[in-house]
Structure formats: structure tokens, C-alpha cells
Chains A and B, each alone.
Chain A
Amino acid sequence: MKKQQPTKKIIFHSEKEMPLAPYSLGSMLHNRTGAWRNIRPEINLENCIQCGICWKFCPDVAIYIENEYPVVDYTYCKGCGLCAEECPVKCITMVEEEK
């Protein structure tokens, strides 16, 4: 799985631009859910055993795989902490987000 790129928001300027039937025109990738986050997961790749459990259990699909290692996509990570809790070697730590 590759990193997902945010898309543009779809804006209708008039009624004529709208489709006649309510079908979807784009994905929700414009919605950067990373703004919901209070705590941020950080992966210590030194200890990573590449089990893929963090990738498997991410409800936001915010962990992608690059060069056979998991990487967190901070644009979309909501900071639920599931990956840190389920990591078998505890190499993911939740860090307080600084504003």
C-alpha cells in the first residue's frame, strides 16, 4: 500500500454543476483527519520486527508500508493509540502533540 495523497474539495458553484443523481464524485481524502489528534504515534524502527500488526489494526488506514517497514501517515492518523497498544514489541510510543 502506498501513501495516499489528499484530494481537492469538490465545490459546486451552481445547481447546474451538480449531478442529476446523487452519486459520489470523489473520495474523502480531502478530509485531513489528522487534526483530530491529541497524541501522536511514533515508530522506533530499530526495534520493529515487521509483523505488520500496526498496519493490520489501523482503523483509519493511516499506516502504510514503505521499504518493508510501517510508516504513519500523520495527515490522517486520528491518534487512537491502537497501534501502540497492539505492538508486540512495544516499539510505538504515543507522544503528546505540541501546538
Chain B
Amino acid sequence: MNHPQKKKQNKMRLTLPLEEYMHSGHLACQGCGATLAMRYVLKALGQRTALCIPACCWSVIDGPFPYSSLDVPIFHCAFETAAISAAGLKAGLEMVGDHETQVVAWAGDGGTFDIGIQALSGVAERNDDIIYVCYDNEAYMNTGIQRSSATPFGAWTTTTPVKHYKNRPKKDIDAILAAHRIPYVATANISYPEDLYRKVLKAKNIKGTRFIHIYAPCPSGWKTRPEDTIKLGKLAVQTCIFPLFEVEEGSTWKINIKPREKKPVEEYLMRQGRFRHLTAEAIALIQEEVDRRWARLLKYEETSPL
């Protein structure tokens, strides 16, 4: 590679560590948000990590049998058991005297919001010492874009076609987990990697069940251009559709990024093929709901102690 010789050799200003625990050659689609989420989380957690992955996009992205694209051990478990397998793995490691290894349950939104919520709720109630990461691409993308309870209002999926688009709002999983009074609940976004990195580092140093909800755009499922992945993530935060906040002990709510001026949701919706059929009334409904949720979140922060 011919570098410009005239220029002074400045040092690169990197905001994340250089170590990679994820290799190239994985099987993700172009512009996948989930791979970025994994990359940042592993950068924060380091080598001493074990993953439990149920059926989700990542069980495919990782590669078929004799291969793996990650540098950390992975346990592929059944769909509904991500949280409980991780808790069992942690208990086993404690028995052999390993208290350092972080066990991470890594599930998609189907494995968290719908199928895995029973096991997750049990683990959260017992406060088992695991990190639960949900990367949220808002449908069952791995099996072919079926509706899940993380799918937002108005979205097209193969099971909610344009004529009968989803008419129920997205499940508020963060509030459900916060209601379990676990030590740490946070939402993160792949478009804000420094924020994500900081949250995972913070979670690493806490004992007990920690839940991190990562927003991961999916170009093939959302019918967007692959190069828009980061832009969509940023828009989701700037329109307050996916606010970034953290909850400690179920009571202390803190919003991390408050947009100076809220963008209209239309800007976010119209970039995606799955929302293209929406009428002006439906968009107004979505805007109303987003405003209501944002006002509620601000109130949570206001009334939380400290």
C-alpha cells in the first residue's frame, strides 16, 4: 500500500481497543448490525468470556460445525434456554473454581421477547451472575422475517403483510427487566459504539444479572440499503424511537443521550421498506406513541433517587 509520504505520520485516534475477538469470513449479510454488536461487546469483555447462543442469526453467522468466527468458546443451546444455560454454565465454572470468566447469554429479539422470556425472568429473579445481551433486529430475521413481539407498530413482515400490518406496539422489555430489580439494565446502539463499550465495561464489573438491549439494524429484513445501517441507528436515537438509558437496581433511571431537538419519526420510517406503506395518520399515531414514551422516560429519570 502506498502511503502519502508528504504527510506527517500522526497516530490514529481510535476510540475502541484494537484487539479483535471476531474474525472475518463470517456468514452475516452485508451491513449487518448484529455482527457489529458482537464485535464491540467482545472488545469490552475480552478473552475470558463464554457465550451461550440460542437459535438466532448469530448461530448461523458464527459458521457451520468445525469452524467458528469467534475467539471465545460458544455453547449453542435450545431456543428458549439462553439465560438458563448461561446460568448453568456459570454455576459449573464456579464449581471448578473459575470466578473470573464472564458468561454471556447472547440472544436475538425472538429468543428474548417471546420464546426466552420465561427463562430470562427466572434467571433475573434468582439474580444469577450472567450478562444477558439481546440484539434487537425487530423480527425473526434468521427464519425469514416473521413478526415477533419486538416488531414495532406498522411494520411489514412476512407474517404481517402490508394489508394487515402489525397493529400492536413493541413490547417494553427494558421496563419488564427493570421491574425484576436486577442490578443493571441498559439499552445500547451499534451507532454509538463508545457508549455501548462503556456500558458493557460497566456491566462487567457488576455482580448479578445484567441485561443489555442492543439495537441492531438488519438491512435484509428492514428492506434498507446496507450502507444505511449506522445512519438508521443514529436516527432511532435522535427521533427517540430507541432512547439510550440505563437502569440500576430497577429504580435509578438515567438517560444517556438526550437529542437537542427531536427529529420527526417520518425521517426514520421512510428510509425503510418495511414502513413504506404507512399513511400519514399511521405515522401521526407512531409519533404520538413515541412522544408519550419519551415523556414517560423523562419522568422516570426525574423521579428516580439521586
Please report A residues at the B interface, Cβ cutoff 8 Å. 1, 4, 6, 10, 12, 19, 22, 24-33, 36, 45-46, 50-52, 55-57, 59-62, 65-69, 71, 73, 75-76, 78-82, 84-86
Q: A56-B14, A56-B193 are in contact. Are A45 and B4 (CB under 8 A)?
A: yes
In the bound assembly, the distance between CA atoms of A13 and B144 in angstroms comes to 34
B25/A66 in contact, CB under 8 A: no
For B16, the closest partner residue in chain A by CB is: A56
Instruction: Enumerate chain B residues within 8 angstroms of A86, measured Cβ to Cβ.
Output: 230
Instruction: Enumerate chain B residues within 8 angstroms of A67, measured Cβ to Cβ.
Output: 1, 3, 9
B63/A52 in contact, CB under 8 A: no
For B1, the closest partner residue in chain A by CB is: A71
Closest chain-A Cβ to B72's Cβ sits at a distance in Å of 11
In the bound assembly, the distance between CA atoms of A82 and B231 in angstroms comes to 9
B22/A79 in contact, CB under 8 A: no
In B3-33, the 8 Å CB interface with A consists of 3-4, 7, 9-16, 18-20, 22-28, 30-33
For B234, the closest partner residue in chain A by CB is: A86
Number of A-B residue pairs with CB-CB distance less than 8 Å in the complex they form = 136
Contact stretch, chosen from B148-156, B221-229, B264-272, B296-304: B221-229
Q: A56-B193, A65-B12 are in contact. Are A82 and B23 (CB under 8 A)?
A: no
Please report B residues at the A interface, Cβ cutoff 8 Å. 1-4, 7, 9-16, 18-20, 22-28, 30-33, 35-36, 39, 62-63, 65-69, 74, 193, 219, 225-231
For B76, the closest partner residue in chain A by CB is: A22
Instruction: Enumerate chain B residues within 8 angstroms of A25, measured Cβ to Cβ.
Output: 66-67
B24/A82 in contact, CB under 8 A: no
In the bound assembly, the distance between CA atoms of A81 and B224 in angstroms comes to 13
Closest chain-A Cβ to B8's Cβ sits at a distance in Å of 10
Q: A67-B9, A85-B231, A86-B230 are in contact. Are A26 and B23 (CB under 8 A)?
A: no
A29/B24 in contact, CB under 8 A: yes
Q: A28-B69, A71-B1 are in contact. Are A59 and B27 (CB under 8 A)?
A: no
In the bound assembly, the distance between CA atoms of A79 and B15 in angstroms comes to 24
A80/B20 in contact, CB under 8 A: no
Which secondary structure dominates chain A's binding surface?
loop
Closest chain-B Cβ to A11's Cβ sits at a distance in Å of 9
Q: A28-B26, A61-B24 are in contact. Are A52 and B230 (CB under 8 A)?
A: no
Instruction: Enumerate chain A residues within 8 angstroms of B67, measured Cβ to Cβ.
Output: 10, 24-28, 30-31
Instruction: Enumerate chain A residues within 8 angstroms of B4, measured Cβ to Cβ.
Output: 45-46
Instruction: Enumerate chain A residues within 8 angstroms of B10, measured Cβ to Cβ.
Output: 50, 68
For A55, the closest partner residue in chain B by CB is: B14
Q: A24-B66, A28-B23, A57-B230 are in contact. Are A81 and B31 (CB under 8 A)?
A: yes
Q: What 14 additional pairs, Cβ within 8 angstroms, besides A52-B13, A68-B12, A84-B227? A: A4-B24, A27-B69, A29-B23, A29-B24, A32-B25, A33-B24, A56-B193, A59-B30, A59-B31, A65-B12, A69-B3, A80-B229, A81-B225, A82-B31
Closest chain-A Cβ to B250's Cβ sits at a distance in Å of 33
Q: A27-B67, A28-B68, A61-B39 are in contact. Are A82 and B229 (CB under 8 A)?
A: yes
Give the contacting residue for B228; candidates A52, A71, A85; CB below 8 A. Answer: A85
Closest chain-A Cβ to B83's Cβ sits at a distance in Å of 22
In the bound assembly, the distance between CA atoms of A57 and B219 in angstroms comes to 15
For A45, the closest partner residue in chain B by CB is: B4
Give the contacting residue for A30; candidates B13, B16, B25; CB below 8 A. Answer: B25
A80/B31 in contact, CB under 8 A: yes
Q: A73-B24, A85-B228 are in contact. Are A79 and B69 (CB under 8 A)?
A: no
For B10, the closest partner residue in chain A by CB is: A50
Instruction: List, sorted by A's number, 19 A–B pairs whose CB atoms are closer than 8 Å.
Output: A12-B66, A24-B63, A24-B74, A26-B68, A27-B67, A28-B27, A28-B62, A28-B68, A45-B1, A50-B10, A52-B13, A56-B16, A57-B36, A59-B33, A60-B26, A79-B30, A80-B31, A81-B225, A82-B230
